[in-house]
Chain A
């Protein structure tokens, strides 16, 4: 295990893009200390911000400290495990294709931006645009799982193509907007316009006080979908808490968004 203890105090963003388990796996601690990261627009060695110790050969990185100003942790990661003991900045696990990231604290915006595989579990809350497409992209996240125990901000799952997002508490506006496929489950409250312009895929609003849906969604039926129960079990096996009353609840099924393809579905808990 490689330990990276954050020791800096700077208001300028620190970007650790490329510091993945596979990139450092074969390096010595001294080499890792010289790994170049960005401090604003300046390139500096990693050791200027982190105390580096341990052995990276097992592809496990442990970040420690308040890393709210440290961005791109685990971006482009392909294998291994990253733990962040404390807050994390933006773009955690961006475009990652494999491996696992645990943030034992809050994460900022863009968690798992355009992710292509692997698992991210934020044990606190996360910011906006979790599992979203970057600006301009025709497709967003294509595979993988993102779990956030707490709440999240706006535009979560934007242009999602495949994969699973589970939000333990509330989410902001436009969850699942422009979705192409995939699944977003929200266990808390939800902001306005869920699923706006979604083509296919599923948004589950499983918490209290669901918002009014857009007029371009039509109610189809009330049901108890089997796949939800399977998904809940899978989530629990990953260490995500699913309220027990979710299993046998009734769900209203709505189809939309009819301004576009209209083959998406929103499930709203009714009991």
Chain B
């Protein structure tokens, strides 16, 4: 009789959540989940994969990337010159065709994540007005489970509730909006700054206590208000913050203030590398790393988590809900520019850029990212990301792993960047090398815990059977860019770089409870100001592909 069991036999298992650090174990799978080994000795598995000598980890989780929605699609349309010359993704009997470049097409995105052993990814900035579009694109992004963060830091209803000092109204609205969009957690992007940018030419805020005109609130109040609401709603993940002044010399003070403002509230600071700069306002010559100071604060405050937003040298396309930043970058790089004003909700800026190792600023950005990984004491609270595609492509993750695990390689790379990096950052003095277990934490187990995903990032019974098997190699880039096998929900989706069965993956979303009397208030607001009717706004459950509600 068929037992329905699939056994990954004898692999060297890394499962930091259960304290398993490179021990030889069997993993048993049934019905898409990991199960305990069968107790009766005569039960036989249907299928076995002999993983002897191979490394077994949970599937990778990218908790901050940009892979769907209107900004990503605009960026795709904006870069035909890059797509034309990029590697082609050719149709096979199992897979669809696609395009690459810095912003791959939907299906290609899914295949490439899976090819690296990643089985879950979260898009970090979705205007809820575009949620339907995102769900449609997600359905066409195979092999991975997906979720998204909902832009709220410049939402007019949010700011009005804060200004009126009505935290219950704010909380109910946030809960309603997450449920309506089928999103995962609130994201604040340059809180207040994007609104000012939308109001006046070259407008922005430059500190946490500047007034956001018309609404009479400050960035600090927005961060505090949303962070408290998220904690009160007991959402699985914290508020996800893209702090003010991204990329500006001297912005580390704003970042530190943002951390302090959170107080005891949970908070995730996204692409922290871009927020760790010393130096004078607008003066490139004084640009330096303040990673040490910020890491120190994060090390001693367990309510805070970060992802790095590592920069890698080469061409890419920046895309952000931070409208004024998009404008700044397009001027700095004299490149094309896309800007969008998303009604009551957000903004958006897109600009192609190129990170050069001959540039002092870009070299420092590269070094500051690595400093964050190497200085952070607790790997459970620092997550690998490139803020794909803003710092570089997710396809660079294997290279980052090598930079972290191999200090000789790191020193060699350090010789190729701008020499001033040696004086203006501590990278040259850092000798730490990540272990495989620590890599497993910053790419899987850590993000699973930070996102509040109980079934991800580990290999214990009950976990989703998302598993990556690697062939050990001293060259860590080689090891991590070509997994021996990738399993998604118990299905073998990739073997040695070839897509076998591209399953669709599912949507991960939250549906917090709220006082439904707020709906009348929101409905009036919609009828007054929005371009679409209130009843057409929420995304109904039957609009989604496979989905799973995550509870905090």
A: residues with CB less than 8 A from B are 134-138
B256 contacts across to A, CB distance below 8 A: none
Q: Which residue of A lies closest to B97 (CB)?
A: A41
Interface string of B95-129 (1 = CB under 8 A from A): 00000000000000000000000000000000000
Bound CA–CA A136/B82 (angstroms) = 8
Residues of B with C-beta under 8 A to A137: 81
Is B164 an interface residue, CB under 8 A from the partner?
A: no
Bound CA–CA A110/B80 (angstroms): 16
Among all A-B residue pairs, the 4 with the closest Cβ atoms:
A136-B80, A136-B81, A137-B81, A135-B80
Cα A136 to Cα B80 with chains together (Å): 6
CA distance A260 to B82 in the complex (A): 25
Shortest CB distance B202–A (Å): 21
Distance (Å) between the CB of B96 and the closest chain A CB? 13
Query: Nearest Cβ distance between residue A155 and chain B, in whole angstroms?
Result: 16
5 A-B Cβ contacts within 8 A? Answer: A134-B81, A135-B81, A136-B80, A137-B81, A138-B81
For A136, list chain B residues within 8 Å (CB).
78-82, 84
CB distance from A16 to the nearest CB of B (A): 18
Enumerate chain B residues within 8 angstroms of A135, measured Cβ to Cβ. Answer: 80-81
Please, which residues of chain A bring their CB within 8 A of the CB of B84?
134, 136
Residue of B nearest to A138 (CB): B81
**Cα distance A135–B78 when bound, in Å?**
9
Within 8 Å CB of A134, what residues of B? 80-81, 84
**Supplied contacts A134-B80, A136-B78, 11 more A-B pairs, CB within 8 Å:** A134-B81, A134-B84, A135-B80, A135-B81, A136-B79, A136-B80, A136-B81, A136-B82, A136-B84, A137-B81, A138-B81
Complex Cα–Cα for A194 and B60 (A): 54
Main secondary structure, interface of B, reads helix
Nearest Cβ distance between residue A43 and chain B, in whole angstroms? Answer: 11
A136 to chain B, nearest CB (A): 4
A137 to B79, CA, bound (A): 8
A138 to B79, CA, bound (A): 10
B80: chain A residues at CB < 8 Å are: 134-136
Alpha-carbon separation in the docked complex, A263 to B359 (Å): 29
* Minimum distance in angstroms from B316 CB to a CB of chain A: 15
Measured in the bound complex, the distance between the Cα atoms of B330 and A138 in whole Å is: 14
Cβ contacts under 8 Å, B79 to chain A: 136
Closest to A139 in B: B81
Assembly CA distance A134 to B84 (angstroms): 9
Q: Give bound CA distance, A137 to B82, whole Å.
A: 8
Closest chain-B Cβ to A129's Cβ sits at a distance in Å of: 14
| Cα-based distance from A59 to B80 in the complex (angstroms) | 33
Chain A nearest Cβ from B114, distance in angstroms: 25
Q: How far is the CA of A137 from the CA of B84 in the complex (A)?
A: 10
* Nearest CB on B from A194, distance (A): 24
Give complex CA distance A105, B78 in Å.
36
CA A135 – CA B80 in complex, angstroms?
Answer: 7
Name which residue of chain A comes closest to B80, CB basis: A136
How far does the alpha carbon of A138 sit from the alpha carbon of B78 in the complex, in Å? 12
Contact pattern, B 71-90, Cβ under 8 Å of A = 1, otherwise 0: 00000001111101000000
**Minimal beta-carbon separation of A141 from chain B (angstroms):** 14
Q: Chain B CB within 10 Å — which of A134, A136, A138 has the most?
A: A136
Cβ–Cβ < 8 Å partners of A138 in chain B: 81
> In residues 40-85 of chain B, which contact A (Cβ within 8 Å)?
78-82, 84
Within 8 A of A (CB), among B225-277: none
How far apart are A142's CB and chain B's nearest CB, in angstroms?
Answer: 14
CB distance from A205 to the nearest CB of B (A): 29
**A contact residues around B81 at 8 Å (CB):** 134-138
A149 to B81, CA, bound (A): 30
* A181–chain B nearest beta-carbon distance, Å: 17
B82 CB contacts on chain A under 8 angstroms = 136
Alpha-carbon distance A138/B84, docked complex (angstroms): 13
Distance of A41 Cα from B462 Cα, bound (Å): 45
User: Complex Cα distance A217/B84, Å?
Assistant: 34
Measured CB to CB, the closest approach of chain B to A105, in angstroms, equals 28
Min CB distance B168 to A, Å, is: 49
Q: Which residue of chain A lies nearest to B79 when distances are taken between CB atoms in the complex?
A: A136
Bound-state Cα–Cα, A172 to B89, Å: 37
Give min CB distance, A89 to chain B, whole Å: 19
Using CB atoms, name the residue of chain A closest to B335. A138
A138 to B80, alpha carbons, bound, how many Å? Answer: 11
Instruction: Give the docked Cα–Cα distance between A235 and B78 (Å).
Output: 38
The distance from the CB of B192 to the nearest CB of chain A, in whole angstroms, is 34
Instruction: Across the interface, name the chain A residue whose C-beta is closest to B83.
Output: A136
- Minimal beta-carbon separation of B79 from chain A (angstroms): 6
Q: Name the residue of chain A whose CB is nearest to the CB of B78.
A: A136
Nearest CB in chain B to that of A135: its residue: B80
Bound: A138/B82 CA distance, A: 11
Chain A neighbourhood of B78, CB < 8 A: 136
- B132 to A: closest C-beta gap in Å: 28
Smallest distance from the beta carbon of B338 to chain A beta carbons, Å?
Answer: 12
In angstroms, Cα B80 to Cα A60, docked, is 33
Interchain CA distance A136-B81 in the complex, whole Å: 5
Q: How far is the CB of A200 from chain B (nearest CB, A)?
A: 16
Nearest CB of chain A from residue B45's CB, rounded to whole Å: 42
CA distance A134 to B79 in the complex (A): 11
Say how far A183's CB is from chain B's closest CB, in angstroms.
24
